[in-house]
Structure 1
Amino acid sequence: MVGPKRPVIVLFGSSIVQYSFRNGGWGATLADLYSRQADVVLRGYGGWNSRQALQVLTTVFPKDSPVQPSLVIVYFGGNDSCKPHPYGLSPHVPLSEYKENMRQIGLYIRGLSETTRVIFLSCPPVSEKMLVESTREDGIHFSAVASDILAAEILKAISEAKWEPSLYLGNLQTEFQDVMYPIQPLTQ
């Protein structure tokens, strides 16, 4: 049985997105905060760049889908910005191509419906000190602290957005909020 239609929030990106549900990451935090208010869907692909994202965009987000996302949070860029390999064996994408890919991704997603909104996450800062403080042992993926900061920043952006309808969790209805379950006394 399916309840009332809830907004769909899609997280679309590389491993920063793919791993966002691990160990209380930012995706898990959003899913928890939006529970019973919105469906948070993970579409993260570790190692991918914006070129690959553009190639699968119509498959991940079909225009003829009966349900379109209310919000898509997009993160690509970490892999795109890797140093180029002399034989082309890295996920590097030249900056001009990356910018065009991201523009096309944004235009396509915004075109899914009149109420679909997009938030683009930028790449983490390239500062040795900040990398150590904000990443896990691998030096690439967000630590728990950085993940909490990112979730808070996403919620701040959503709460300050002038979107109609609002997607801020405090403004959304909780599914089945008017259904009460009477507590039955235990009888022996």
Structure 2
Amino acid sequence: MVGPSRPQFVLFGSSIVQFSFSNGGWGANLADIYARKADILVRGYSGWNSRRALAVLEKVFPKDAALQPSLIIVYFGGNDSMGAHPSGLGPHVPLPEYVENMRMIATYLKDLSDTTRIVFLSTPPVDEALIKKNQSQFLSDLVRTNEICGKYSEALIELCREMDLKVIDLWTAMQKRDDWLTSVFTDGIHLSAEGSQIVTEEILKTLKEAEWEPSLHWKSMPTEFSEDSPYDLVLSDGKRTFNPSDWSFHRKIQWE
């Protein structure tokens, strides 16, 4: 552990989380946006479903940890929503079990601390044609349709409404783009830079609108070591300095 201690944002989920620092990913976007404000920690596990996530929850988020996360962003559902494989293997989790698994995950995370905030990401859409083009023989027997993804997405959204939790409807947000089929994926499932930008924008919008104290939106959070230094440049009026910590504004001006 290095200091000073910062708020911790943990990204917990399957491959869309594990790969979130690749291809202009949304995890990398958040790490850039929250530079000198919060530490972005990735706990992503490719191929995992809600069943396996639930089994290791106490290891990933121990209740006796000295420091609990300020924010946990949770994503499971893409693998759960895949159809059952004829062999009996594969990540499929029936919808009722998926909902109960996510309920137990949410309940556990809510109990970590009074200041731990939670945001769920719903199952995004998929490009069925591109998936079939890239599938191996084993995966070709797995059914993965946009319609089924939509059902798992809606089920999670309904659960979060019931539990008064923040949830981002990725299934709808991505399909608002006219060119979503050709722009938001790398392989029909995982996200391109354009897809990750949508995720980033939706997360920032949610954090900005949340009535949390303290706010976790980047513009509201203090910047580490932001005080003026004798080494800062003095501006032409002789009264103000140009503090390098303000560079973050110029780098992140695209984000709200």
TM over 0.5: yes
Q: Which amino acid aligns with 2:198?
A: I
- 8 Å CA contact 2:29, 2:200 repeated in 1: yes
- 8 Å CA contact 2:127, 2:188 repeated in 1: no
Instruction: Give the Å deviation of 1:164.
Output: 1.4
Aligned partners of 1:162 and 1:15: how far apart in 2? Answer: 30
- 8 Å CA contact 1:14, 1:46 repeated in 2: yes
- 2:10 aligned residue: 10
Instruction: Give the Å deviation of 1:151.
Output: 0.2
- 8 Å CA contact 2:23, 2:192 repeated in 1: no
Whether 2:153 is the aligned partner of 1:153: answer no
Aligned partners of 1:11 and 1:180: how far apart in 2? Answer: 34
Query: What SS does structure 2 have at the residue aligned with 1:97?
Result: helix
Q: Which amino acid aligns with 2:33?
A: L
- 1:111 aligned residue: 111
Instruction: Give the Å deviation of 1:143.
Output: 1.1
Query: What SS does structure 1 have at the residue aligned with 2:20?
Result: helix
- The number of aligned residues is 182
- 1:139 aligned residue: 188
- 1:62 aligned residue: 62
TM-score by length of 2: 0.68
Ranges in structure 2 where 5+ consecutive residues have no aligned partner = 129-178, 234-256
Aligned partners of 1:168 and 1:31: how far apart in 2? Answer: 13
Identity within the alignment, %: 59
- 8 Å CA contact 1:125, 1:131 repeated in 2: no
- 2:217 aligned residue: 168
Instruction: Give the Å deviation of 1:179.
Output: 5.3
Higher normalized helix content (fraction of residues)? 2
Q: Which amino acid aligns with 1:162?
A: E
Alignment of 1:20-35 (within 5 A): 20-35=20-35
Query: What SS does structure 1 have at the residue aligned with 2:219?
Result: coil
RMSD over aligned CA atoms reads 1.7
Query: What SS does structure 1 have at the residue aligned with 2:11?
Result: strand
Q: Label 1:170 to 1:48 Cα distance change in 2 as closer, same or farther (>3 A).
A: same
Q: Which amino acid aligns with 1:116?
A: T
Instruction: Give the Å deviation of 1:126.
Output: 4.5
Larger Rg: 2
Query: What SS does structure 2 have at the residue aligned with 1:40?
Result: strand
- 8 Å CA contact 1:10, 1:41 repeated in 2: yes
Which shows bigger deviation, 142-151 or 122-131? 122-131
Instruction: Give the Å deviation of 1:165.
Output: 1.4
Query: What SS does structure 2 have at the residue aligned with 1:98?
Result: helix
Aligned partners of 1:38 and 1:126: how far apart in 2? Answer: 31
Q: Label 1:131 to 1:107 Cα distance change in 2 as closer, same or farther (>3 A).
A: farther
Aligned partners of 2:48 and 2:68: how far apart in 1? Answer: 23
Larger RCO: Structure 1 or Structure 2 (Cα < 8 Å, ≥ 6 residues apart)? 1
- 8 Å CA contact 2:11, 2:72 repeated in 1: yes
TM-score by length of 1: 0.91
Ranges in structure 1 where 5+ consecutive residues have no aligned partner = none
- 1:52 aligned residue: 52
Instruction: Give the Å deviation of 1:61.
Output: 0.2
Aligned partners of 2:23 and 2:127: how far apart in 1? Answer: 24
Query: What SS does structure 1 have at the residue aligned with 2:202?
Result: helix
